[in-house]
């Protein structure tokens, strides 16, 4: 289960925003000291190509052009690598959220709307990474490491803080428990994302309509 721990707001300035979604070349060049970043970014691309099962430290070493032994200087096993890739996914998603909430020209409703659209877009455009971030491979099997938890947990808490802000602005129901409302809001977005990723909703032309419907449902509930 993914918790909502009470921790401080996620501070992007303390973390390096990776070029996680930038496709690497088949033989990724790296400079001295950059091998770990190359392993994580190339591993992410391999997951996008062939899924989690298609990734191994041996295949990753071959893709980059280093010895398999070199990969073990940075990751003890595949699970360690998956946690690092998931962590970068959370950083990327948080970066997207921060850009929206730092835009002071947006109204509260437009901020909520852009967040809904951006979340679904991130999930559908990076389906394999999203599945790793929130799926059972890491969380249900209790395979997360401390480095991932240090990034993921504040990201979850940030969703709660955003919900409180929307409540204070009168955008979402003020007298509803903030934690429960954050869980329901996120659950709605996550559910739509999973339906699209799993192929249950094949007509992606309706994504915008579904996102707009989410916005109207939550806002109109407050207006009633």
Chain length of the chain: 224
For the stretch 94-117, pLDDT in tens is 999 999 999 999 999 999 999 999
Q: pLDDT band at residue 156, thresholds of 50, 70 and 90?
A: confident
- How far is residue 70's CA from residue 66's CA, in Å, rounded to a whole number? 7
- Are the beta carbons of 134 and 52 closer than 8 angstroms? no
Residue 40 confidence (pLDDT) above 60? yes
Residue 21 confidence (pLDDT) above 60? no
Residue 9 confidence (pLDDT) above 50? no
Residue 135 confidence (pLDDT) above 60? yes
Q: DSSP letters along the chain, please? A: -------PPP-GGGS----TTSPPPSS----TT-HHHHHHHHHHHHHHHH-GGG--HHHHHHHHT--HHHHTTT-SSHHHHHHHHHHHHHHHHHHHHHHHHT-TTS-HHHHHHHHHHHHHHHHHHTHHHHHHHHSTTTTTTT---HHHHHHHHHHHHHHHHHHHHHHHTTSS-TTS-HHHHHHHHHHHHHHHHHHHHTTSS--GGGHHHHHHHHHHHHHHHHH-
Q: Of 153, 32, 24, which Cα lies nearest the Cα of 86?
A: 153
pLDDT at residue 222, rounded to an integer: 56
pLDDT at residue 6, rounded to an integer: 35
Tell me what the mean pLDDT of segment 172-192 comes to.
94
Residue that is written with structure tokens 């929206």 in the block: 100
- How far is residue 57's CA from residue 51's CA, in Å, rounded to a whole number? 14
Tell me what the mean pLDDT of segment 30-44 comes to.
81
User: CATH topology for 15-223?
Assistant: Tetracycline Repressor; domain 2 (1.10.357)
pLDDT at residue 19, rounded to an integer: 36
Q: pLDDT band at residue 221, thresholds of 50, 70 and 90?
A: low
- How far is residue 52's CA from residue 25's CA, in Å, rounded to a whole number? 19
Task: Give the residue extent of every domain in the chain.
Answer: 15-223
Across the chain, what does the average pLDDT equal?
Answer: 83
């Amino acid at each position: 289960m993914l918790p909502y721990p009470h921790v401080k707001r996620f501070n992007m300035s303390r973390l390096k925003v990776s070029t996680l979604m930038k496709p690497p070349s088949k033989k990724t060049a790296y400079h001295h000291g950059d091998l770990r970043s190359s392993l994580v970014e190339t591993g992410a691309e391999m997951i996008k190509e062939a899924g989690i099962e298609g990734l191994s430290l041996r295949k990753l070493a071959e893709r980059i052009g280093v010895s398999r032994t070199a990969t073990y200087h940075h990751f003890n096993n595949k699970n360690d690598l998956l946690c690092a890739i998931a962590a970068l996914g959370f950083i990327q998603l948080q970066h997207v959220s921060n850009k929206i909430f730092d835009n002071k020209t947006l109204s509260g409703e437009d901020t909520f709307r852009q967040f809904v659209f951006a979340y679904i877009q991130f999930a559908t455009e990076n389906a394999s990474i999203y599945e790793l971030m929130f799926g059972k491979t890491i969380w249900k099997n209790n395979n997360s490491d401390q480095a991932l938890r240090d990034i993921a947990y504040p990201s979850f808490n940030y969703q709660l803080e955003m919900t409180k802000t929307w409540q204070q602005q009168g955008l979402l129901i003020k007298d509803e428990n903030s934690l429960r409302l954050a869980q329901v809001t996120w659950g709605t977005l996550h559910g739509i994302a999973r339906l699209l990723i799993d192929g249950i909703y094949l007509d992606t032309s309706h994504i915008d309509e579904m996102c707009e419907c989410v916005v109207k449902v939550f806002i109109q509930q407050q207006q009633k």
